[in-house]
Amino acid sequence: MDFRLDAMDAAPAPRALATEAVHAGREDLAGLGLHAPPLDLSTTYPSYDSRGEAARIDAFAAEGAELDGPPVYGRLGNPTVARFERALARLEGAEAAVAFASGMAALTAVLLARLGDGLRHVVAVRPLYGCSDHLLTAGALGSEVTWVDPAGVADAIRPETGLVMVESPANPTLAELDLRALAHSCGSVPLLADNTFATPVLQRPLESGARLVLHSATKYLGGHGDVLGGVIACDEEFARKLRQVRFATGGVLHPLAGYLLLRGLSTLPVRVKEASRTAAELARRLAEDPRVSRVHYPRIGGGMVAFEVHGMPHEVISAVRLVTPAVSLGSVDTLIQHPASISHRIVDEGDRKSAGVSDKLLRLSVGLEDVEDLWSDLDRALGPVREGTSNRSAGRGEPVREAAQA
């Protein structure tokens, strides 16, 4: 008996996230005689049966299901990207996942899918990542947004509402939302939760009732700052619409990016847990520091810390040496940026401030360096202690853990 085939026929037993992270999307490799996943860079695939191809393309146009049989063309699907999609779906506990060229391409596809169903109205809670806010506010795709507090979601929903969008923890304030309560407020309108900051290691929004999970895969999923990508995890019904939008509009993930993202997933739990440990310690020290007026660190943990300084945030940015002053996040190395100048610059100043993004706020993405090395760089970059400054949580030894609407 061939034990490999036997194993492949068996229904997969439930497995822990750490196990899925290294095995999901790779189930067929042993049967192929491979250990590392292959990278398929083909843009097109030969077929001598054009009648058969016509039938498969008709089925895709009607249904949006993944193509049965060999691939046809890179914009319709790629085997390497499909491995990443299967793996991410497993990690998020979703039926399916659909990958895109970037997080913004993924959000664009969701909005276009809803517009295609005649549902142009979106309800959203600030803060969101700056470009997500901008895409909704500008209505560039023909959508219209109503911004609300979490408590206002149910009242803002109209017959033509196609989506409710939130981020938790939010970029950049790390404000956390009660996703279960929000999903309840949404009724039958799909709730999209941007899970970029938490990753499925810390939070699986579908289990709380969200219908769509968005990732800027550029961040923790890739994890090494060298790949741009986006992905939506959802049910198969919504995934079919997204595949059709992707085919029509072309925002595909490059196969090399798919390869790197699959590889990134295998270390995701280890990276997130280690970064969380270091970030929690840095948040604790910052909260005790008289040069820091406020620290935001999520209850669920994670590698992101936001803090407000008494002095000029620009001086901290220009003084770091080990930490890299750069936008983006979720890499193995630590990055710091000033949201009011960069990631949220495109958001109207008043909207930015009322969402808690003060001009004093700095956002730190903690990597895998040693905590003492990071602290000595931050400590030096924060500069001398000034007379008369105080810290909200000084002496308490715990960072200020902001409630949902920080």
Q: Which residues are catalytic?
A: 75, 129, 194, 219
Min dist. Cβ of residue 204 to ligand PLP (A):
16
CA-based nearest residue to 127, from 144, 107, 147, 111: 147
Sign of CA pseudo-dihedral 240, 244, 250, 254: positive
Part in contact with ligand PLP (CB under 6 A); list of ranges 124-132, 176-184, 266-274, 312-320: 124-132
Among residues 228, 242, 265, 340, the one that binds ligand PLP under rule CB under 6 A: 228
- Nearest to ligand PLP of 221, 382 (CB atom): 221
Total residues belonging to the chain? 406
Among residues 230, 251, 264, 298, the one that binds ligand PLP under rule CB under 6 A: 230
Min dist. Cβ of residue 341 to ligand PLP (A):
14
Min dist. Cβ of residue 257 to ligand PLP (A):
11
**Residue in the structure block whose two tokens are 């009011």:** 340
Return the structure tokens found at 5. 């085939």
CB atoms within 10 A of CB 330: 30
**Residue in the structure block whose two tokens are 């968005």:** 214
* 316 vs 266: CA distance, rounded Å: 34
Q: Which of residues 52-111 bind ligand PLP (CB under 6 A)?
A: 102-104
Would you give the distance in Å from CA 376 to the centre of its chain?
A: 30
Part in contact with ligand PLP (CB under 6 A); list of ranges 5-13, 90-98, 129-137, 282-290: 129-137
**DSSP state for residue 14 in the 8-state scheme:** P
CA-based nearest residue to 84, from 32, 33, 21: 21
- Nearest to ligand PLP of 72, 141 (CB atom): 141
* 215 vs 231: CA distance, rounded Å: 5
The SS3 assignment for 317 reads helix
Min dist. Cβ of residue 117 to ligand PLP (A):
23
Q: Tell me which residue has its CB nearest to ligand PLP.
A: 103
Would you give the distance in Å from CA 45 to the centre of its chain?
A: 32
Q: Which of residues 164-203 bind ligand PLP (CB under 6 A)?
A: 167, 171, 194, 196
Min dist. Cβ of residue 160 to ligand PLP (A):
25
Among residues 78, 80, 132, 185, the one that binds ligand PLP under rule CB under 6 A: 132
State the residues that interact with ligand PLP by CB under 6 A: 102-104, 129, 131-132, 167, 171, 194, 196, 216, 218, 228, 230
